[in-house]
Homo-oligomer: A and B are copies of this chain.
Amino acid sequence: MEEALQKMDAFFNPHSIAVIGATKKTDKAGNVIFKNLAINKQRGVLKAELYPVNPGEDSILGFKCYKTLSNVPGEVDLIVVIVPAKIVPSVMEEAVNKKVKTAIIITAGFKEVGNKELEDQVIAIAAKGGIRVLGPNCLGVYYSKTGIDTLFLPETKTLTTGEDVVATPRPLPGGIAMVTQSGAFGVAALDYLTGRQMGVSKFVSFGNKSDVSESDILNYLLYDKETKVILVYLEDVKHGRDFIKIAKKVTLKKPVVVIKSGRSSAGARAAASHTGAIAGSDKIYDAAFEQSGVIRAHSMEDFFDIGKALAMQPPAVGKNIGILTDAGGPGVMTVDELETLGLTVDHFTAETEAKFEELKKKGAILQIAATHNPVDLTGSVTDEQFVTSADIMFQDPNIHGIILLGLHHMPGLREKYIDGIVEVAKKYQKPIVMCDIGETEMALYTRSRFDRLCVPSFGSPEDAACAMASLVNYGQYLKRNGAVEDYIANYKKTCSIAKPKK
């Protein structure tokens, strides 16, 4: 590993951590963060040495507490800083002497409230010692594998009724890296990803990004084996040219999906007062993303849906999509949206048509079933019909991906077809995306089962179409850059979703 990467790695895989500003006082960030780490240490997840630093305490949660960072015995790779802003420079001076590699500065009250000088001072000190700094004004890192968790938002909250409820959950391990400029959006994303069973490889909130920027993190994640897709929330981009250069390199190997807020003029004003981001013209961003192969999402749901699709399925090498449905109306809605997104739903080859005719003759599917594309097996669908039809469609060289609409309401459909479809899909290197509409038990069960088996499922035709479009567009991008063969050859159809349960 080159030196720059090795240094960045100390954010995620440190041998030792000092928490500057750890405290016993509950509800304080210094308490929540130290407790996260202490519990992970006790559970054996966190292997790194852990040192609380606070001049007013002898021990915290059973850990010997040190007056200052200098007092900590042995080396310290990573410091997590939660002391008031004005004390941060002196902490950094100590860190330089201690040869610390990386610092996560949680503390707010810097550039974002006008204290640019103080922030510059902190970074100048860090630079002397070659310390990489995340923040200030950030949430830091969550990495489940090594137990790094610097989020100061407690996992649960107690309602006035006395009930304990999950408030800021930590997601399970998986293939999605979540990188964010906004801490609030970051925790909301963790909540969303957890609830939707999407697993996370690394979470990074970089706040004011006075040192480590989105480009540094992209470059690190390029080499991170656990990360299959990178999701990034941005309000502005630092060093545009560097970003484009690095993003170009990354996007040929891993999809990068960005949601950049402040795209409207009123939004840009709001962003400026939020993080002091100078957003610049939104068209410049569009051009930069386009040029570097970054996929730009225009809504939160699209952002996550695209991430899910790219984490679970290979890209499509063409843009003609086969639709397999048991519900006419939702099938039409899917066609509408695909066409709006620039994809096509053209007819099958004569060979495929003949195969479907054969099925009709044998009585394996109904005479009234539409078999041109969309294939509509009608409300009389059975599990077997779905599986057989999907297999035929995958074989068609004119079909580059399949959207399956399996509305579970149809009387003859049970859940058996789910595993059957997954088995069929495994035989081909073409993507498949699933939709079932509904928000009660069987719909939730169906979608969850597909997700766990790595077929990304969605609750509306438009979401499924958006997911497929992202697989097509990413495939086109790779093709234009001569990278599609390599990507698909390296692509393993393994689920990057959290915890595949039976």
How many residues of A are in contact with the other chain, CB < 8 A? Answer: 89
Q: Give the number of copies in the complex.
A: 2
B460 touches A184 (CB 8 A): no
Q: Which of A180, A185, A275 has the most C-beta atoms of chain B within 10 angstroms of its own C-beta?
A: A185
A266 at the interface (CB under 8 A from B): yes
A261 touches B329 (CB 8 A): yes
Give the chain B neighbours of A27 by CB distance below 8 A.
Answer: 411
Give the chain B neighbours of A326 by CB distance below 8 A.
Answer: 184
A473 at the interface (CB under 8 A from B): no
CB nearest to A374 among chain B residues: B270
**Contacting A195 at CB < 8 Å: which of B113, B271, B407, B438?**
B438
Give the chain B neighbours of A4 by CB distance below 8 A.
Answer: none
1/0 per residue, CB under 8 A from B, across A402-414: the answer is: 0000011111001
Give the chain B neighbours of A327 by CB distance below 8 A.
Answer: 182, 184-185, 188
**Contacting A267 at CB < 8 Å: which of B187, B300, B333, B463?**
B333
A368 at the interface (CB under 8 A from B): yes
- Write the nearest CB–CB distance from A412 to chain B, whole angstroms: 9
CB nearest to A376 among chain B residues: B274
Tell me the residues in window 432-474 of chain A with beta carbons closer than 8 Å to chain B beta carbons.
437-445, 459-463
A481 at the interface (CB under 8 A from B): no
Give the chain B neighbours of A189 by CB distance below 8 A.
Answer: 437
- Write the nearest CB–CB distance from A136 to chain B, whole angstroms: 14
1/0 per residue, CB under 8 A from B, across A135-167: the answer is: 000000000000000001110010110000111
Question: Which listed segment binds B: A10-18, A73-81, A339-347?
Answer: A339-347
A191 at the interface (CB under 8 A from B): yes
1/0 per residue, CB under 8 A from B, across A160-178: the answer is: 1000011111000000000
With contact pairs A440-B166, A441-B167 given, residues A332 and B408 touching in the complex (Cβ less than 8 Å): no
**Contacting A184 at CB < 8 Å: which of B271, B275, B330?**
B330
A191 touches B332 (CB 8 A): no
A273 at the interface (CB under 8 A from B): yes
Give bound CA distance, A328 to B387, whole Å.
47
With contact pairs A188-B407, A442-B167 given, residues A270 and B335 touching in the complex (Cβ less than 8 Å): yes
- Write the nearest CB–CB distance from A433 to chain B, whole angstroms: 15
**Contacting A274 at CB < 8 Å: which of B184, B233, B266, B329?**
B329
Give the chain B neighbours of A398 by CB distance below 8 A.
Answer: none
CB nearest to A383 among chain B residues: B160
1/0 per residue, CB under 8 A from B, across A370-390: the answer is: 101010100100000000000
A336 at the interface (CB under 8 A from B): yes
B339 touches A264 (CB 8 A): yes
Give bound CA distance, A287 to B441, whole Å.
39
A209 at the interface (CB under 8 A from B): no
With contact pairs A330-B184, A407-B188, A415-B160 given, residues A340 and B462 touching in the complex (Cβ less than 8 Å): no
B336 touches A274 (CB 8 A): no
Give the chain B neighbours of A439 by CB distance below 8 A.
Answer: 191-192, 194-196
With contact pairs A188-B409, A267-B336 given, residues A157 and B442 touching in the complex (Cβ less than 8 Å): yes
B271 touches A332 (CB 8 A): yes
A442 touches B409 (CB 8 A): no
Give bound CA distance, A273 to B335, whole Å.
13
B191 touches A328 (CB 8 A): no
Give the chain B neighbours of A459 by CB distance below 8 A.
Answer: 192
A337 at the interface (CB under 8 A from B): yes
- Write the nearest CB–CB distance from A34 to chain B, whole angstroms: 15
Give the chain B neighbours of A431 by CB distance below 8 A.
Answer: none
1/0 per residue, CB under 8 A from B, across A293-324: the answer is: 00000011100000000000000000000000
- Write the nearest CB–CB distance from A400 to chain B, whole angstroms: 15
Give the chain B neighbours of A165 by CB distance below 8 A.
Answer: 441-442, 445
A215 at the interface (CB under 8 A from B): no
A265 at the interface (CB under 8 A from B): yes
B194 touches A113 (CB 8 A): no
CB nearest to A32 among chain B residues: B411
Give bound CA distance, A332 to B13, whole Å.
34
A255 at the interface (CB under 8 A from B): no
A67 at the interface (CB under 8 A from B): no
A183 at the interface (CB under 8 A from B): yes
With contact pairs A166-B442, A439-B196, A441-B166 given, residues A274 and B328 touching in the complex (Cβ less than 8 Å): yes
Give the chain B neighbours of A196 by CB distance below 8 A.
Answer: 439
A21 at the interface (CB under 8 A from B): no
A337 touches B438 (CB 8 A): no
A475 at the interface (CB under 8 A from B): no
- 6 A-B residue pairs with CB within 8 Å: A159-B414, A184-B407, A192-B437, A264-B335, A299-B337, A299-B460
The 3 residue pairs across chains A and B that have the minimum distance between CB atoms = A195-B439, A182-B329, A191-B438
